[in-house]
Amino acid sequence: MSKDPVVQFGVFYALLFPVFGLVPSPTNVSVVCHNFVNVLYWNYSNPTEQLKFSVKVKPYVSDSQTADTYQTYLDISSYSRDVGDDYIVFVTAHDGQEKSESVSITFTYSQDFFEEKKQKCSLDFPAVNTSVHKNVIEVSFQHPFFLHQQDILKEKFMYTVTHDEQKVLYICFVEEKLCTAKIHLNESTAGQCVELKFEGKIAGIPSYTYRNVCVPQQMPETDKTGLIAAVLGGGTIVLFIIIGFVWLLWKKWSKIPKMPQSLWKDIPRQSHTILVSQPEQTTVSSLTSHGHKPLLTDASPPISPTEEDCKENTTLDMDLSEESEEDVNCDDFEGFGFSSDYDSPKFLQEMSPGDNTEGYGPRPAVI
């Protein structure tokens, strides 16, 4: 063996540190931590077949944990469950028996462990619901605990709403479940869209979001007093017209003479008697003789209508149970019209020697 001190020192150094300096270290190590999902990323420029990476997660409070991977990223959410803790992550490259120097990065959700070089994690701000009422925007959203279901979030949520360079602070407790806010607008914002910035902090964990809200154009309010008065006046006029029309109908109806109640009782009975006791018309044929003019023709004067009415009334009086105050006397009608010769007795009339015929009327004087 060479006794050169330089050579001996080089051999001793190689035997003492065989795994360091020969394998390149990972580069660009970063952590993406959002909504309690934490993923570690890095780059490596000299990959080999036996290359693997070792990741060591060391919390500030609890014990450290180690995991190996052949990829250039690793989800370390299960190794960093305590969101209130501070973490240091080491990444080392292994190529067979050789390994590189470790590269580290720190991250935390809580702003209580504040350092310039630490990776700051964040949470999504809860979904914001907005509604516009005239010149006021009403805002509501869930408490962050009900969104992420982490026990560390069971405390008050402090948030601010910024609009038109004005920031207003609000506080929401987990017992309230729903957080609200009201943003008052200027009248000049009508018909325009405004931007609202929400910034919150809970358990030292920041969150933020933006929201654009469009304010509709307000229609000018009209005085409805005139419209109401017109409707009431028109309704009153129509009501008076209806009342007047009903009054006129009642007045005309009251002028119609009422039929006595006794006539209402007699009309159905009289109609029935007239239909039943209608007298039959007797047809009398003409009596003629050969070579002579007939003594009786159809030109005989009929019974006067007044006499017929008297007979019909007499028949009705016989059928009706009620008696009229004055009796009808048909003898008064004998002087009107002509009496029929058929009511006279028959007699034998000599028309010519040897030619006799029967006739009606007064018997001629016997010579």
Secondary structure of the chain as H, E, C letters: CCCCHHHHHHHHHHHHCCCCCCCCCCEEEEEEEECCEEEEEEECCCCCCCEEEEEEEEECCCCCEEEEECCCEEECHHHCCCCCCEEEEEEEEEECCEECCCEEEEEECCCCCCCCCCEECEEECCCCEEEEECCEEEEEEECHHHHHCCHHHCCCEEEEEEECCEEEEEEECHHHCEEEEEEECCHHHCCCEEEEEEEEEECCEEEEEEEEEECCCCCCCCCCHHHHHHHHHHHHHHHHHHHHHHHHHHHHHHHCCCCCHHHHHHHHHHHHHHHHCCCCCCCCCCEEECCEEEEECCCCCCCCHHHHHHHHHHHHHHHCCCCCCCCCCHHHHCCCCCCCHHHCCEEEEEEECCEEEEEECCCCCCC
pTM for the predicted model, two decimal places: 0.50
pLDDT of residue 180: 93
pLDDT bin (cut points 50, 70, 90) of residue 14 is very low
Residue 315 has pLDDT above 80, yes or no: no
Between 218 and 38, the more confident residue is 38
Task: Summarize the confidence of residues 221-236 as an average pLDDT.
Answer: 78
Average pLDDT over all residues of the chain: 74
pLDDT band, residue 216 (cuts 50/70/90) = confident
Residue 340 has what pLDDT?
A: 52
Mean pLDDT, residues 301-320 taken together = 47
pLDDT for 86: 86
> What's the pLDDT score for residue 261?
65
CA–CA separation, 349 and 364 (whole Å): 9
Residue 345's pLDDT band (cuts 50, 70, 90):
low
Check residue 272 and give left, alpha or beta (phi > 0: left; psi -120 to 50: alpha): alpha
